[in-house]
Amino acid sequence: MKKILITGGAGFIGSHVVRRFVRQYPGYRIVNLDKLTYAGNLLNLRDVENAPNYRFVRGDINDFAFLKDLFLRERFDGVIHLAAESHVDRSIDNPDAFVRTNVLGTVNLLNAARMLWNGNYEGKRFYHISTDEVYGALGNEGLFTEQTPYDPHSPYSASKAASDHFVRAYGDTYGLPVVISNCSNNYGPYQFPEKLIPLTIRNIIRRQPIPVYGRGENVRDWLYVEDHAQAIDLIFHRGQAGETYNIGGNNEQRNIDVVEKLCEITDELLGRQPAGTSKELIRFVRDRAGHDWRYAIDTSKIKQTLGWAPRTSWDEGLRKTVRWYLENTDWLEAVTSGAYRDYYDKMYKNRLQS
């Protein structure tokens, strides 16, 4: 029996990873450790919460005494580390929380794993989930490979880059069996509506202005979240210790095209005539500071070594996503009550008025 710690399992990607592991591996014990910040929500895991191979623990990766106790009690064989502050705009507003959780919290987890395993690394694995943003920004040409030098621009990506460096350093220095993956933009059910796609869907439903930064020409490479969870499963089980794997959707889109497509699909599913009228809600607003121009991933390594490729087409993934948000307005209401309104006003009020 394997005992696996998944951190950040109540968040967007983490909840898909927890669901996948709980269902695919009834013989494993899956412990989900999450602080339940504004971004973490146990509603994301209702369908697996009573599974016999699953346990939720509320806790903070910044609390080393708590981590040490948890590791000694549970004696994990593997760690899949997703807990993080994840939103670029929030990192511009308040970088400190990103340094604490993403950098210091990751080092705490590395120390806890090192303490428990104590040099006996047979069958052990520390898997760190990271982002393509550590590579910086591309111009109109080229792709990020695993060899692209790190060049982060936002406090978020700088904190993720620092955490990647610590993970590699623990591999090189102490022999900890680490593996890292750097993924492009995810989308799908349960994504907190501070990110572009769910924020746009929510505003279309509510007939509110849709804020598009700058001219909407920045490019992101979008991947359906369940395809990412599948890649994580594969890398956790078959990836080589000490290696890095880039994960992407082979699906570059300009932000304005994403938003317009969402207007068309959402209008169609809502029966708004003619489909696409919600494009009237689009507002071009002041750009994000240090806004990275383009991200795009070269996925050849994971394809050639582990046989992974994204399965969900852009059209299918977006339709599934919009349908999910339309069918789960209770979830949307629950996560956007209270503090979300203060956040939204702070981030968007001035931008949408000017």
Nearest-approach distance from CB 130 to ligand NAD, in angstroms? 6
Spatial neighbors of 211 by CB under 8 A, at least 6 apart, are 199, 283, 285, 348, 351, 352
Q: Are 278 and 204 in contact (CB under 8 A)?
A: yes
Nearest-approach distance from CB 47 to ligand DAU, in angstroms? 24
Q: Are 34 and 86 in contact (CB under 8 A)?
A: no
- Could you say whether residue 230 binds ligand DAU (CB under 6 A)? no
Nearest-approach distance from CB 30 to ligand NAD, in angstroms? 15
* Residue 86 vs 336, nearer CB to ligand NAD: 86
Nearest-approach distance from CB 3 to ligand NAD, in angstroms? 18
- Could you say whether residue 150 binds ligand DAU (CB under 6 A)? no
**Can you say whether the dihedral through the CA atoms of 169, 170, 172, 174 is positive or negative?**
positive
Q: Which two tokens stand for residue 259?
A: 């938003």
Query: What is the distance between the alpha carbons of residues 170 and 31, in angstroms, rounded to a whole number?
Result: 23
Span interacting with ligand DAU, options 83-91, 93-101, 105-113, 163-171, rule CB under 6 A: 83-91
Q: Are 83 and 105 in contact (CB under 8 A)?
A: yes
- Could you say whether residue 220 binds ligand DAU (CB under 6 A)? yes
**Can you say whether the dihedral through the CA atoms of 40, 41, 45, 51 is positive or negative?**
positive
User: Residue from 15, 32, 44, 86 that binds ligand DAU (CB under 6 A)?
Assistant: 86
- Could you say whether residue 288 binds ligand DAU (CB under 6 A)? yes
Nearest-approach distance from CB 1 to ligand NAD, in angstroms? 25
* Residue 33 vs 199, nearer CB to ligand DAU: 199
Q: Considering only residues 174-203, where is the footprint of ligand DAU by CB under 6 A?
A: 184-185, 195-196, 199
What's the CA dihedral at 198, 201, 203, 205 to 10 degrees?
-140
Clarify whether 233 is annotated catalytic.
no
Other beta carbons within 10 Å of 240? 12
Clarify whether 264 is annotated catalytic.
no
258 φ/ψ angles, rounded to the nearest 5 degrees: -60, -50
Clarify whether 172 is annotated catalytic.
no
- Could you say whether residue 317 binds ligand DAU (CB under 6 A)? no
Cα-trace Rg, the chain: 20
User: Which member of 54, 135, 156, 325 is catalytic?
Assistant: 156
Which neighbouring-strand residues pair with 221? 252
Span interacting with ligand DAU, options 110-118, 126-134, 236-244, 312-320, rule CB under 6 A: 126-134
Peptide bond into 274 cis (omega under 30): yes
User: Which member of 60, 132, 194, 260 is catalytic?
Assistant: 132
User: Which member of 77, 133, 164, 292 is catalytic?
Assistant: 133
DSSP state of 312: S
Q: Which residue's beta carbon is nearest to the bound ligand NAD?
A: 11
Nearest-approach distance from CB 329 to ligand DAU, in angstroms? 20
Q: Which residues bind ligand DAU (CB under 6 A)?
A: 86-88, 131-133, 184-185, 195-196, 199, 211-213, 218, 220, 255, 288, 295
Just list the catalytic residues: 132-133, 156
